Amino acid sequence: MNTNKEYQDKLVRLNAAVDGKEPDIVPVFPCLETWQYFVAGVNFVDAMTKDPDICFSAFKTVSDNVYLDAFFGTANSTPVKMISNFGQGLYTITENGIQIIGGHGKIMNENEYPQLIADPLGFMLDTIIPRKYPRVLELKQNGQLLSTWGKGMKDLFGSLIYDKKVKKRIEKELNTPLFFRATSVMPGDVIFDFLRDFTGVTKDIRKRPEEFLEAEKSLIPVMINMVEGAWGKPDNTGVVLFPIHLPTYIRPQAFADYYFPAMKEMVRILNEKGYSMAFALENDWSHHIDYLLDLPDARMIGIFEKGDLSEYKKLLNGKLTIMGGYQVDVFRYGTMDECIDEAKRCLDEYAPGGNYIFGSSINLERAEDCSMEKLAAVCDYIHTNGKY
């Protein structure tokens, strides 16, 4: 771990907020997903595939100009090079970022829940992967699957080493934590995002509710293993990030009955294993927020995209640390004065009493989302005026 005082001060500040306390200053943590590459003029493909130094240079450019208590991550978590061995699949890297291509949601049939429930990994390997990547069957028939799989694993480990080099330099040279140490998916979102899509899931909840619940239950150990594989020894240097997608697309009662039980069990298990968690809560949670009070007591962050965060904070009463609040449209279309006014509003409404991390309402992805000058001014304002 980096023992530099600047790094440690940032880590202490973040952890105080996660613990529901008042840190010395409101932590500054806008969600910079791919924005740093574009605003720094770094070619995204080169940053992801050619040289770790190219990738690092984007973070250094931002760090030299903007005060931050943490970085979101490198956006290099999708092993595109490894996946490319097996055909087009879901993802490709272009100069515009990592793109999802083709139809990808509904690739599991509604009558296949028993197979998923009985053996989630086996079902994925034997049925879903060949269906999504038809080249797998071609390679198998030609006797090339084993050698291609070996190359894929080599590419995967190469990507992990590449990313690790970048992250090590960010923390050591820029003295800024990468606070999202691992990313995982809730069981309901595995089915929603990768297997059945919106139409399939909403139909299954109505027509096959018990099978849907059993499938979620069977996926819990798989997703726990995913977290442990990515971050085997949890500590206070960060949290596990869960993008939460399905809940606001279904009725609150359906969320309570068919999504929340698995989410609750995931939180219980990970908390017992020593993990802290962050939930990126997509869309408006005003009709679902009460249910979060029933989560097990744990160190958790709620990153809210929409809604009245001051009301959420009051209602949750320390159950989760509130993160976000800054409306990205102000960055995009506002004047510099309007950007500062929005930062002031966040401090006035969300910061009192602690338990708050300043951040953007959604991820910043492209240069047009925010200029370097605006982000620098806003982050400096929070860091200067957010003292407790």
**CA dist., res. 156 & res. 262, Å (int):** 29
Residue 101 CB neighbour total at 10 angstroms: 11
Residue 98 has pLDDT above 60, yes or no: no
Whole-number pLDDT of residue 135 = 72
pLDDT range class, residue 264, cuts 50, 70, 90: very high
Residue 51 has pLDDT above 70, yes or no: yes
For residue 103, what are the CA distances in angstroms to 91, 97, 106?
A: 11, 18, 8
Whole-number pLDDT of residue 103 = 47
At 280, which CATH number? 3.20.20.210
Give the pLDDT confidence of 204-215 residue by residue, as tens digits.
999 999 999 999
Report the half-sphere exposure of 327 (CA within 13 A, side-chain side): 14
If you count them, how many residues does the chain have?
A: 388
* pLDDT top residue among 180 and 80: 180
What is the average pLDDT value for the chain, to the nearest integer? Answer: 90
Q: Are 40 and 61 in contact (CB under 8 A)?
A: yes
Residue 52 has pLDDT above 50, yes or no: yes
Tokens (6 digits) for 163: 């990313």
For residues 59-76, b (16+ Cβ closer than 10 Å) or e, as one string? bbbbbeebbbbbbbbbbb
Tell me the sheet residues that pair with 178. Answer: 71
Tell me if 64 is assigned to some domain: yes
Tell me if 105 is assigned to some domain: no
**CA dist., res. 55 & res. 38, Å (int):** 11
Tell me if 145 is assigned to some domain: no
CA 107 to chain centre: 23
Domain count, the chain: 1
Strands (E), the chain: 91-94, 97-100, 180-183, 239-244, 277-284, 300-306, 321-326, 356-360
Judging by DSSP bridges, how do beta strands 239-244 and 91-94 pair with one another?
A: unpaired
CA 311 to chain centre: 24
Give the pLDDT confidence of 140-171 residue by residue, as tens digits.
777 776 676 666 666 656 677 888 899 999 99
pLDDT range class, residue 29, cuts 50, 70, 90: very high
Q: Are 272 and 303 in contact (CB under 8 A)?
A: no
Tell me if 212 is assigned to some domain: yes
Tell me if 319 is assigned to some domain: yes
Whole-number pLDDT of residue 133 = 73
Whole-number pLDDT of residue 128 = 86
Tell me if 252 is assigned to some domain: yes
**CA dist., res. 146 & res. 142, Å (int):** 10
- Looking at the chain, the whole-number percentage of residues with pLDDT higher than 90 is 75
Whole-number pLDDT of residue 199 = 92
Residue 48 has pLDDT above 80, yes or no: yes
Residue 216's domain spans which residues? 5-73+175-385
Tell me if 245 is assigned to some domain: yes
pLDDT range class, residue 82, cuts 50, 70, 90: low
Whole-number pLDDT of residue 147 = 72
Give the pLDDT confidence of 290-306 residue by residue, as tens digits.
999 999 999 999 999 99
